[in-house]
A and B are shown apart, each in its own frame.
Chain A
Amino acid sequence: MDDPQLTDDEVVSSVLGGRDRDFEILVRRYSQRIIHFVARMTEDGDEARAIAQDVFLKIFEHLPYYRRENNFSAFIFKIARNMTLNWLKRRKRTVFFSRLLGHELDRLPLRRDPPRLSPMEQGEREQALTRQLRRLPVEQRLALVLKVYLEFSYKQIAGVTGWSVPKIETLISRAKARLRKGIRLQESGNEPVVEAREK
């Protein structure tokens, strides 16, 4: 179905010319990366798939606004970024209100884990890392996810976020330092109880 000869821009032209079915070529080209991106940003697999689906519907809707300069990747990741950040904001509000009401969401593991005596199993290590990722301030997480999981260069990240390269460098460096500190504390059983504040 996918014709590797066609550039993204050529596929976009075809879709805008009335061949809606060709949009599937773009979905197939980018679905894996978009889902991966959203999943790493939200750390919630089910939600990630639902958000990724909405992202593609939004991309289709906004296709006429895309300026064809062979930078389709930046265009769609901008949409993915906006929709994911909106979802994170909504979740933050939900968590805030549920805390006000005196109960916490099950899906956010905010309580201190009991200190472990045995070395952590692989699954537990992954969970611990996921938890640390989720606690990163959202700008740091966005920059890190684009770098580590999407293998974007700082310049490409700038294209998606609109930030300067020095800012991106700082955000990623801080994210790594923060993750390392969090992991160290977690493994020594001195994990902080609450989520990190923004910035």
Chain B
Amino acid sequence: MLMVSAGDPIVVMMSHPAKILMVDDNSMVLFAMGHLLRSEGFTVLEAKDGAECLVQARAEQPDLVLLDVMLPDINGVELCRKIKTSPETSHLFVVLLSSIETSPDSQITGLEAGADGYITRPIENRELVARVQAMLRIRLAETALRKAHDDLERRVAGRTEELSRANGALKALSLRMVDVQEAERRFLARELHDEIGQTVTCLKLVLEISLRPENPAQQQSFDEALGLINDLIERVRQLSINLRPQMLDDLGLMTALDWHLKRYQKQTGIAVQFRHTPMPERLEPGLETAIFRIVQEALTNVARHARVKEVTVRVWANAGRAGVQIEEAGAGFDVASVLARRASSGVAGMKERAELLGGEFTLESTPGHGTCLTVELPISENESTSVEAGGGI
């Protein structure tokens, strides 16, 4: 039993006595050295030539191979190279034992052949044992290190997989969140418009047919009441539209966009040029929503930051992709610093929406020269897995 500490906290216990394979053609040497090593508690195997050495090395997987450089059938250095290049034995620890005459040159050749150590003879018994033990310590430390390395690699691989799984889950979650938010907005918009809006509208109608003002004073308060109701109706209508225009579901992206651009133009005084290629009647609901929202967000930015009188909106569909581009020659800004800033919600939101749908988001801007935002999204053949209910007609 051997316990080794290799300088760092890795401690390796050998579960069995170290196994040493001695290779020497001289049976006297084998006998004497074998005796010595056994008495130190090692398990000792013996081989008389290269062929025998290879067989044993393969079968026994010794912890250490002590290899005489001079063998009858093969040069020890050559044998060492063989051991080190065969996949079954390449990991074995090989120490060359010199013959009596050994020059520094032959040591170098031996080490170059892949030997892990070199012991020169003559050598005293005590020194030989000490050297062998030192070699085994190195061997153990190396094994420990390799194991630690393998563990680490496995752990990294495991973590990487975990991380990519978590990333996938996060993406699915974000996608779902966008869908849920959109569904919620659609619901609220409908509720506001259809329930509250219609009830108030009806209230107005009932008021009108049941109340007949009889004098100018009554007429005036009646008119005031009607005015208030009209304001309320308009407020509810705008609130609903801002949440989500029902038209997007009912009449499709292009009609809703066209309408939105006109409304934008009227509200902001910024002239909108709307250009598009022939478009499919309808796109998937998720895609229509994404494009509409991106145009909305980008145009809001144009009105707030660009200081321009004109903006161009382009929409196209070709080769399985739908694209949208918003371009103006306004103030411009430094894109990198805005993207780096965590606070930006508009630009980041558009980017995220595009990427969640597997699309590309390109934002180009030069301070003083204007901004161009381009998003391209894949049109999937089958319906998306989105929770959105889709249009009514």
Do A and B truly interact? no
Binding site for A on B (CB under 8 A): none
Binding site for B on A (CB under 8 A): none
